[in-house]
Amino acid sequence: MPRHVKAGMKLRSAVCDTQIMTLKAPAREIDIRIGGAPALLPDEEGESTGLDPKFAEGTLAGKRYVDADETMEFLCTKAGQGTVSVDGVALAVKLPKALPSSD
C-alpha cells in the first residue's frame, strides 16, 4: 500500500506494538511496512495478517531507522516485534557519527 509520507507523520503497526514517526522522507510514494504489514495512521484500521518472520527482528524505542542512502529516517516511538521496511527492504538502526579525534 504505497503512500506519501511526510516529516512529522506518525505511523503504527497492525501486527505488533511498534509505532514510528517520520523524520525525513522522499517526495515519492513509498511502501512502508512494519512487521511485513502495511504501516497505518494512528486512527486507521487495518487487518492483522500476523507478523512476517522475515520482518520480525523488532524495533527499539528511541532509535532512528534509515535506508542505506539515508534518504529517509524514522524514529521509533514505541518498541515492538516488527521490523520497519520500505519497498521490501528492512531499515537499519542509524549509527552515531564518529567525532574527530582531539590529538
- Sketch the domain layout of the chain as residue ranges: 10-93
What does pLDDT average to over the chain? 93
Residue range 8-21: average pLDDT?
96
Residue range 41-51: average pLDDT?
86
Residue range 49-54: average pLDDT?
90
Phi, then psi, of 95 in degrees rounded to 5: -85, 145
The full length of the chain comes to: 103
For residue 100, pLDDT beyond 90: no
- Please name the amino acid found at residue 63: K
pTM score, whole prediction: 0.89
pLDDT in tens, 62-99: 999 999 999 999 999 999 999 999 999 999 999 888 88
Phi, then psi, of 25 in degrees rounded to 5: -145, 155
For residue 103, pLDDT beyond 80: no
HEC profile of the chain: CCECCCCCCEEECCCCCCEEEEEECCCCCECEEECCEECECCCCCCCCCCCCHHHCCCECCCCEEECCCCCCEEEEEECECCCEEECCEECEECCCCCCCCCC
